[in-house]
Structures are given as structure tokens and as C-alpha cells.
Structure 1
Amino acid sequence: MPFGTVLAHTSFVILLIGVMVTAGTGFSMNLPVTVGTRVPVGHGTNLSIEALSFRDTYHATGQAMDYVADVVLYDGETQVAHQEVRVNTPLRYDGVKIHQSYFGTSAILTVKDAQGATVYTGGVPLEYVSDDEQNSIGRVEIPGTDLIAFVVTPASGQVTSDIPAGQAQVEIQRTGQEAPVASGRFSQGQSMQLGEHTYTFEREAKFTGLMVNKDHGAIWVWIGCALMMIGLITTMGFQHRRVWVRVHPSENGAEVRAASSDKADLATQKWFRSFAYEIARLDADTAGARTPTSPTSTSSTDGKTRV
């Protein structure tokens, strides 16, 4: 039992080390990637993920059958992995794991400056839902500016949104301000100038939401959990037993009395009877006498076992 206690306490220290390593060197994030686009992972890595396709299939009852994204992983400009990613089939590379997590619709948006140069083109994942649950909302920061573009479309299955199906509302805000500086409603393929930039709502596309994490501390957490289980099993499964023994001189040699403060359960009584019998047998062997029968043990009202 003392050995198990040491293991259990040590496991807590190892678990804390694992948590600190994870917090200091790892990361975990949800990364939406629009199909046909490539998105950087960040967090000090040189990785980026491209989604080639996404498909979701269902049973006739409407229950989900499979969610799968065909993704390519790049380290810099070098392709390092290509795999179909599912919830329980992650892509693994250099300690990074990429799981399929969620999915939805994106708005493909192109933004050009006053000179006609493209400053942004790509998908805006509509990850959020309005308070009345009628509209889906996405946001993107316009590179090189302090502008944020919010794209709003009718939520899937909703027919009471004030935005017609197939259209998108684009609102432009400056960082730190709530009031929009410009807004407009677009049909697919339509362009409109909002402020100093021209925005084009190209079309809608699917996006795959990927859970990306890197956890150097996971191995320490698993070691800590294993030690904790071993320690608990050892502590609970191997009882710590203590016996008091009193020896009195007698005419025939000595009288030995033994008692234990352990609870008088069946396992303890069985062990205590065996313990007392072994003492009596050793005493009889030393005296050259016949091995006696097993001594009698009793349980007193205070729950202690005596012989």
C-alpha cells in the first residue's frame, strides 16, 4: 500500500508537468478551410492546409453516415501530406494532428483596391448565427487595412430572413468600431464599391472545419494517468495490515497474544487466522511438538480481531 500511495502522488506531479508542457509549447484550434482555398495554420508553424473537397453522406433516416474532407498539408511550399480526414481518422505530421470537426457554407469574396489590384480573394466561412437564428455570418480582415468585412446570408433552412436566398449582405467596419462605414447587398457574381474597395460576391462554397492541435505534453499526461491507476489499484487491492503481539512467560514457555485493529472483514479474518496459525506452528516446531490445530480468532464488538 505505501508503494501505491507513492505512485499515486507522483502521478499528480507528472500530470502537472504534462499540462505545463502543453500550455507552453502546444496549441489547439478550430480552423475553417473553404473548399478550393489554402489557409495557414499559424502558431509559430510554417504549415498551411488546402481543402480539395468535402462531402457529407446520410442514411435514409437522415442520420449522418460520414463526414470526410480531402486535405493537403504544406510545410512552406512543400506538400508533406495528402489524406482524407474524418472525425476519428486524423492526419498526423510532425506532432500535429488534424481532425474533421464541423462544416458549413462559405461566401467566396474578392476585394480590389482603387487601382484594381486584388487585396483579398478567398472564402469567408459563415461560422456564426445571428441572435434570431435566421442568418449565417462570417468575417474576414482585409489585408493591409484596418477594415473588417462581415458577410451575412440566410441560414440553412430559414425562409423568414430579410435577405433573399442566393444573396449576401456585406458590411464594412473599422477595427474597434461597431458602426459600419459601408454596406451593400449582392447577388452571386455581382460587384459593388464599398468605401475605397470594390467587393465581388463570387459564389457560395462548402467549408470544412478542422480541429488542429499539437500537444507535446500528451505523453506525460498518459504516463501520469497510468501511474495513477496503478497506484490506486495497488492501494485499494493490497491492504495495509498491522498486528500487535504480546508475549507472556508461562510454565510451558510463553503465551502469545495477537490483535489487529483492521476491520474484521472476511479477507482480514482469513489472513489473521493464517498468521496466528503460522506463529503457533513455528512455536510447536521449535519445541519439537506436534503441529497444533488452527487457533481460534474472534471478532469483538469494536470490530477488532483477536486471537
Structure 2
Amino acid sequence: ALFDRAGTESVDVAADPRTAAAILRGALAARGHRVIATEHVGGVHLYADRFRYARFGSLVGHVSLVLLLLTAAVGSRVSYADDGFVVPEGSTREVGLAGLSARVASFEAEYYTTGQPKDFRSDLILLRDGSEVARKTIRVNEPLDYDGVRFYQSFFGPAAVVRVTDSSGAVVFDDGVALAWRTDGDRPVGPVRVPGRDVTAYVVAPSAAGRDTLISPGEMRLEIYEGASDRPVKMETLAQGEDVSAAGLTFTFVREKQFTGLRVTRDPTVPVIWLASALLVIGVTAVLVFPTRRLWALARPAAGGSRVAVITVGRRDSSQDDEIKELLAQLSRPAGAQTEAPRRRGRAPAPEARALPEQ
């Protein structure tokens, strides 16, 4: 019944069924097919396939998609990202991951003639328990990667070095302050939280939007708050080197600097994502480039030799049609008989051309 279906190709061969099956088997093996032959009373049956494992490409592709979805779900819970990690030039800040601290040894920025940033980079040092473990000059697309944690250069801005001393003259704070936030008047601002004291001072720089009538270029304004009060105990605009006293402390604006803004990420699922992506590519490639080919053939006795019928099941393309026609044409040649056009069931056969007997 299989070889009675529409789409069956057949050809007469001037050889017995065993010989015809052997010729077809050799032709299929030469084209990379695995061939299984079984002999029955009605003739010789052949089954051939090529790229038989490629059909698992669909399974691999689906598994990779599920793996990607699961990885995304897990990654959202176990990954870490800080898009606003700021470190003033010359300062050190704790990262909060794996006992790491980051120090910016230097920061440099280059500009176009229009004033737009051309390039900016940070000489970044990573410390663990006070010891240097990694160092690199990072740029926007050149991060520092250490122990699964990545540091990307993201942005930059102004900073101010502030020194705070108590009434005895002891230094309680001496560090850079990143002015990474903005006031309502578009002025850069950053906080100084005095260690051991319930005192916070906000350092405000001149507005970047244009001329500032309150703060001149090169100056900083300090707004000092004590406790939970929302009213400052002191507000003063200072030039470089000047100081102001409030809440039993003396605040000195030492000099201007810049801060670097980093994006810090850690995602332990990245290797799994790469694996799932590779599996997806392999699966899709296997399905599209190496489609599984399956073919059934039957060589049975017929007048003058045998008749070989060939059929495929499933999706069939033009390249497979051409291959079957070439196989059947190859079958008809070895016996020296007139090559007959392959017959397809369901269509009217072409008129046969018969050779006249020799005189």
C-alpha cells in the first residue's frame, strides 16, 4: 500500500530485483545515506535515511528556549547591578560585593571642539581586604572583569575635596565628594556624612545650565544640617581653601576634582545563557541546513527484469525530487537498456520509446 500512494516514482530495470536493489543501495550509500535492506517474497525492500540525528535539532532548539527563560527568571533573583556607583578621583569606595573596594587612581576626559565628550577613562584599582587584586584603565566598552564582577565606565561629573575637623583640630573627614545629583536649580550636589556625628553637609556646585548668580565658577556652597532637621544650621559659599564652622566642626573646601560613574554588575547565569544560545544556534542550524531525508524503495520482479519504486514521506523539496530522479536514472543505465523517464503514480505515464530488434 505504501508504494501505491501518489508521489511514488518508478523505473524499469533490466536486472533481477537483487541486483537492482544492490545498485540502488550503492548509489544511496555514495550520497551519504544509511541503507537497510530486507528481502521478502515480493521483492527487496530498502530503507534509507540521511542526517537522521538532525531531527533532534528541533528538540535542542526548544530545550534551549526553555533554558533561556529559566535562566532569565533565576538571573533576576541572583544577579546584581548598580548603575550609579560613583567614586571621586583619588578616593576609594566599598563595592558591597565579595569584599571588594574600588579606587580611582586617575580620571581623564577628552572633548570635541563642540564641547561634547570624545573619550573618558578611569584608572581603576580593585582592592580586597586592602590588597590590590586587579587594575585596568576602563572605558565605556572596555570594562574591568574580576571574579565575575564587571565594572563599566558609564558617566562622570564634578567632585569636591572637603576636609572636616573637630574643635580640637583633629581631622574627622578628608575625602572627595561626588556631586552626582541635581538640585531643583540644576546645580550638582553631593552629601558629606560626618563619621561619628549626626551632621550632614551638602556640597553644591555652580549650575551647569548657564550663569549662576549664587555660586561663581571655582566656588562651592555648603549647606550644613544637624540631626533630622530640614533647616540648615549654616549655609556658606566658599572659594577654594576657605572654611566655615558649624555644629562644632570646621568644613574646608580644599579643591575641585572629578568623579567617575561606574556600572557594576554580577550575573552568575551568564555562562548558562551562552550555553543556551549556542544550543539554539546548533538546533536551528541542524533543522534548516541538514534536514532529515528518508526514502523507501521496493525492487520487485517485472517483465524483462524488475521494477524499482521509490517514495518519500513528509515534506519534500525540489532538491529531493532531483535526487530521486538522478537515482532512478542511474538505475536504468547499468543494464544498457533505454533509459525510461521515472513514473509518478497519480499522473499519466509518458509514452514509452521501444528499440527495434536488431536484424
TM-score range, shorter chain: 0.7 to 0.9
Aligned to 1:191: 243
Question: Is contact 1:186-1:201 (8 Å) kept?
Answer: no
Amino acid at match of 1:11: S
The one of 85, 104, 128 equivalent to 1:51 is 104
1:80 paired residue number: 133
1:2 paired residue number: 55
CA distance in 1, matches of 2:175, 2:137: 22
Q: Deviations over 1:110-163 (max 9, x none)?
A: 234455543322111111233453x11223433334544322211336214533
1:303 corresponds in structure 2 to: none
> Is the counterpart of residue 215 in structure 1 residue 228 in structure 2?
no
| Contact 1:14 1:223 (8 Å CA) reproduced | no
- SS of structure 2 residue aligned to 1:274: helix
| Aligned-partner Cα distance in 2 for 1:232–1:178 | 64
Tell me how far 1:237 sits from its aligned partner: 3.4
Alpha-carbon distance in structure 1 between the residues aligned to 2:226 and 2:346: 82
Pick from 89, 114, 132 the counterpart of residue 142 of structure 2.
Answer: 89
Structure 1 residue identity aligned to 2:152: H
Structure-2 change in CA distance of 1:15 and 1:143 (3 Å): farther
Match of 1:164, SS state, is: coil
Q: State which of 274, 294, 298 in structure 1 corresponds to 2:323.
A: 274
Q: Which gives a bigger RCO, structure 1 or 2 (Cα 8 Å, sep 6+)? A: 2
Letter in 2 for 1:163: I
Summarize deviations over 1:181-238 as a string: whole Å, max 9, x none.
4341231322223335432222211112233333332222111122222222333334
Greater shift in the superposed pair: 13-22 or 2-11: 13-22
2:233 is the counterpart of 1:179 = no
Note if contact 1:105-1:204 (Cα within 8 Å) is conserved in structure 2: yes
Q: CA RMSD in A?
A: 4.0
**1:290 Cα shift?**
4.5
Q: Does 1:107 align with 2:160?
A: yes
Aligned pair partner of 1:163 in 194, 208, 215? 215
Rounded to whole Å, the distance in 2 between the matches of 1:156 and 1:113 is 33
Gaps of 5+ in 1: 301-307
Whole-angstrom distance in 2 between the partners of 1:131 and 1:290: 96
* Equivalence map 1:1-307=2 (5 Å): 2-16=55-69, 18-19=71-72, 20=74, 23-24=77-78, 26-43=80-97, 45-60=98-113, 62=115, 64-113=117-166, 116-133=169-186, 135-156=187-208, 158-160=210-212, 162-173=214-225, 179-187=230-238, 188-239=240-291, 262=315, 268-275=317-324, 278=327, 290=337, 292-295=339-342
| Distance (Å, rounded) in 1 between the aligned partners of 2:179 and 2:213 | 15
The alpha-carbon distance between structure 1 residues 261 and 213, as it changes in their structure 2 partners (threshold 3 A), is closer
TM-score (norm 1): 0.73
Q: How many percent identity over aligned positions?
A: 29
TM-score (ref. length: structure 2): 0.64
Cα deviation for residue 30 of structure 1 reads 3.6
Q: Cα 1:251–1:76, aligned 2, differ >3 Å: closer, same or farther?
A: closer
Distance 1:84 1:255, change over 3 A: closer
Q: Which amino acid aligns with 1:67?
A: F
Contact kept in structure 2, 1:38 and 1:48, CA below 8 Å: yes
Distance 2:188 2:212 in 1: 13
For 1:104, the aligned partner's letter is G
Q: Do the aligned residues in 1 keep the contact of 2:226 with 2:247 (CA within 8 Å)?
A: no
| Unaligned stretches of 5+ residues in structure 2 | 1-53, 348-359
CA distance in 2, matches of 1:116, 1:54: 31
CA 1:280–1:83 in 2, change beyond 3 Å: closer, same or farther?
Answer: closer
